[in-house]
Chains A and B, each alone.
Chain A
Amino acid sequence: MAPLLKVKNMTHFFGGLRAVDNFNLEIEAGQIYGLIGPNGAGKTTTFNLITGVHTPTEGTIELEGEDIKGLEVHRIADKGLGRTFQNLALWRHMNVLDHIRMAHYSRLDYSLFGAFLGSPKCHKREREVIENSRRLLDLFDVGRFADQLVGNLPYGAQRRVEMARAMATNPKILFLDEPTAGMTPDELNRMIEIIRQVHRDFGVAIFLIEHRMKFVMELCESVQTLVFGEVIAEGPPAEIQNNPKVIEAYLGKEDIH
């Protein structure tokens, strides 16, 4: 059987800058996979290439054996690729509940005119969507904020809303771009728990970008290290952590542990 996500020989240039060089990846259903590397290594770019924000200069991307390269972002998202953003990308004038409702967009089964006239079908679907959204909010422990604007929430809660929103698209694989960026140690431990829980309850595969080794060590089954757009190491986290090339890349840049 084809792996869930398969990326082959993906290369991307921004003008003359080689942002990602010959990137390869295979993620099986239900796996937690990590991508680490110093700032500017091309990690976010890798995410953006797979999720369709940019189309790679070269290479192939397959989701469950189907070529998804060049599809529009919303199509790729609908096919089962959910994501969060490195710098929170929430909708500041929308309340928390509406964030989760929005992630059901591609699965609204009523027509535009149904929405205009408030057809019974539309009302029924909206009720289901709201019910499912509330369930997800509770699961991520942000249910009590449902009617508030996202900006009023504490930072950790905003991160959880973003994650709940990504899960509401019903993804097969969840992309997390530095889910613990800017978090306190307390919030960090909580996030580890939440990711474990998502993985367990939804059975979703997870592909995450991280800075902190501790996080990666605890969660991931396999890790790739990216430096200047190039993969310099791949394997289980314990191996990666002791790889001299990885240590060198991180030296003086980040606290590896």
Chain B
Amino acid sequence: MEMIKNFLRQFTVVPLVGWLIGSFVAVLLEYYLGDAISYYLYLPKIPVLFGALTMLKEPLLIPSVLAYDLIIYIVPVLLLGRLLAAFSNRVATWFEALPLWLATVVHLAAFYGILHLWAGINDYRVLVVKLTMVAIILTVSLNIINGYQGEFSCSHPGFMALGAYASSSLTLMLFADDKMFGAALLPPALGPWLFPLILIFGGAVAAIGSLVVAIPSFRTRGDYLAIISLAFMFIVKSAIENMEFLGGPRGMSSQPNYATLPIIFIWTMLCIWIIHNFISSTMGKALNAVRDNEAAANSMTVNTRKTKMTAFMFGAFWAGVAGGLFAHVLRYVNPGTFGIQKLAEILAMVYFGGLNSIYGSIVGAVSISVLGEALRPLELFKWIIIPLILILVMIFRPYGLISFTEINVKGLMRPKNRSRSGGAE
């Protein structure tokens, strides 16, 4: 135990830049030597998600997979992180002098570069990363309503469906020749450039749709939101199933490939940034005041009904954007996707990650998405293991893993070679 602690203490001096450099080298290593190393370890190919699938399918290969992870990821990242600590702390100090936004953008760009390289090694990785980022948008936006605002809304899959169908219809109508909407109305080359507007349109449709839930729920006293929002989800699903011009239960396909990895990454960061701005402003903190004591909020000049409506529409907007991205990632949607299982997934991510925390939601979305993919061979078990983890978290951390914690960008990027008070070590 003591040994592990001492070992881990070695790494408290590594700043974020250091980990980024380590990961970059690890990814390069995999890029150039991954095939060779897999070959010598008797692995059929480069393990996709750190070998989780391989281990589950062929237990005999477990030692090989572990060796692979050690050689490619763990050793290079730890070793380089530690060895280059002095250098990367100097870089971090240099970054500290830059404006915060610039330092953040540079870090994000570096992170994206690594992610791009890593995902690029295998198509399946690209898909997992894309869907994980869509999940982050969904989770963070549901946290606005269920965490920051303290309601219990179940309609996120419904809003997602509205966004998915609204944006898909638009891209198919405008930029694609297809059997449903006929020939393209605009030159297809314009498509990728207008895609942001299409996503915003999808989000807006979801936000307007959310009024159907918000108006009756927030007008009356008492808590009907859970019921009304659940009903809304089912109504959207069966309404789309019955709309033949949208493909009915068969769904809608051949959306153009606009949701590329960089585009989704930018949208995810944009979503996090905007939501972070909002909830750190006094206007956004009104959600917390309404949640904790509505009467007091009212007496402190807070327009509580407007606050609730705004938060709800805002959350729905992002669910709509996520739906649009989702449809253009899979390039196929059908109403069956937006049902109770999707709801359970998003709720699990929100409550596992932690209420009232963007950071928590990111952790929740990433861990449950990746876990879900890793456990895919155990299809049925997935729905036993994930709820089990959820129950444990609920018992030991009722508000979730990382609740009521906000991202401190500056703290994340700061050099680690001096103590918190700023004095030299």
Given A74-B303, A104-B282, A112-B283, A90 and B293 contact (CB-CB distance below 8 Å): yes
Given A105-B302, A116-B277, A116-B278, A91 and B283 contact (CB-CB distance below 8 Å): no
Of chain B, the residue at the smallest CB distance from A92 is B292
B281 & A102 in contact (Cβ 8 Å cutoff): no
A103 & B288 in contact (Cβ 8 Å cutoff): no
Question: Which residues in chain B, 272-297, are within 8 Å of chain A measured between CB atoms?
Answer: 274, 277-278, 281-286, 288-289, 291-293, 295-297
Interface check B122, CB cutoff 8 A: no
A107 to B289, CA, bound (A): 16
B289 & A108 in contact (Cβ 8 Å cutoff): no
Interface check A126, CB cutoff 8 A: yes
Given A117-B277, A118-B277, A129-B282, A91 and B289 contact (CB-CB distance below 8 Å): yes
A103 & B356 in contact (Cβ 8 Å cutoff): no
Of chain B, the residue at the smallest CB distance from A79 is B301
A110 to B284, CA, bound (A): 12
What mask results when residues 79 to 102 of chain A are scored 1 for a CB within 8 Å of chain B, else 0? 000110100011111100010011
CB distance from B398 to the nearest CB of A (A): 13
Interface check A64, CB cutoff 8 A: no
Contact of B292 among A51, A91, A166 (CB under 8 A): A91
Of chain A, the residue at the smallest CB distance from B306 is A74
Chain B residues near A94 (CB-CB < 8 A): 285, 288-289, 292
A94 to B148, CA, bound (A): 11
Interface check B417, CB cutoff 8 A: no
Interface check B310, CB cutoff 8 A: yes
Given A91-B288, A112-B283, A126-B282, A102 and B277 contact (CB-CB distance below 8 Å): no
Of chain B, the residue at the smallest CB distance from A48 is B295
A241 to B277, CA, bound (A): 55
A197 to B300, CA, bound (A): 21
Number of interface residues of B (CB under 8 A): 27
B302 & A53 in contact (Cβ 8 Å cutoff): no
Interface check A134, CB cutoff 8 A: no
Chain B residues near A110 (CB-CB < 8 A): 283
A102 & B356 in contact (Cβ 8 Å cutoff): no
B281 & A105 in contact (Cβ 8 Å cutoff): no
Interface check A189, CB cutoff 8 A: no
Chain A residues near B283 (CB-CB < 8 A): 105, 108, 110, 112, 115
CB distance from A179 to the nearest CB of B (A): 15
Interface check B304, CB cutoff 8 A: yes
Given A91-B292, A116-B277, A102 and B299 contact (CB-CB distance below 8 Å): no
Given A108-B283, A129-B282, A117 and B274 contact (CB-CB distance below 8 Å): yes
Given A89-B296, A116-B274, A103 and B285 contact (CB-CB distance below 8 Å): no
A102 & B289 in contact (Cβ 8 Å cutoff): yes
Query: For this complex, into which size category does the number of interface residues on chain A fall?
Result: 35 or more
Chain B residues near A126 (CB-CB < 8 A): 281-282
What mask results when residues 292 to 332 of chain B are scored 1 for a CB within 8 Å of chain A, else 0? 11011111111110000010000000000000000000000
B298 & A101 in contact (Cβ 8 Å cutoff): no
Question: Which residues in chain A, 121-141, are within 8 Å of chain B measured between CB atoms?
Answer: 122, 126, 129
Interface check A106, CB cutoff 8 A: yes
Contact of B301 among A77, A90, A112, A116 (CB under 8 A): A77
A74 & B282 in contact (Cβ 8 Å cutoff): no
Given A108-B283, A115-B278, A115-B283, A102 and B292 contact (CB-CB distance below 8 Å): no
CB distance from B310 to the nearest CB of A (A): 7
Chain B residues near A116 (CB-CB < 8 A): 274, 277-278
Of chain A, the residue at the smallest CB distance from B101 is A118
Contact of B297 among A101, A102, A129 (CB under 8 A): A102
Question: Which residues in chain A, 118-166, are within 8 Å of chain B measured between CB atoms?
Answer: 118, 122, 126, 129, 165-166
B299 & A51 in contact (Cβ 8 Å cutoff): yes
Chain A residues near B302 (CB-CB < 8 A): 74, 102, 105-106
**Would you give 19 A-B contacts (Cβ < 8 Å), ordered by A?**
A72-B298, A73-B295, A73-B299, A74-B302, A77-B299, A91-B288, A91-B296, A92-B292, A93-B356, A93-B404, A94-B288, A102-B302, A105-B286, A105-B303, A118-B281, A129-B282, A166-B299, A169-B300, A169-B301
Query: What are the 4 A-B residue pairs with the smallest beta carbon separation, nearest first?
Result: A91-B292, A106-B301, A89-B296, A73-B298
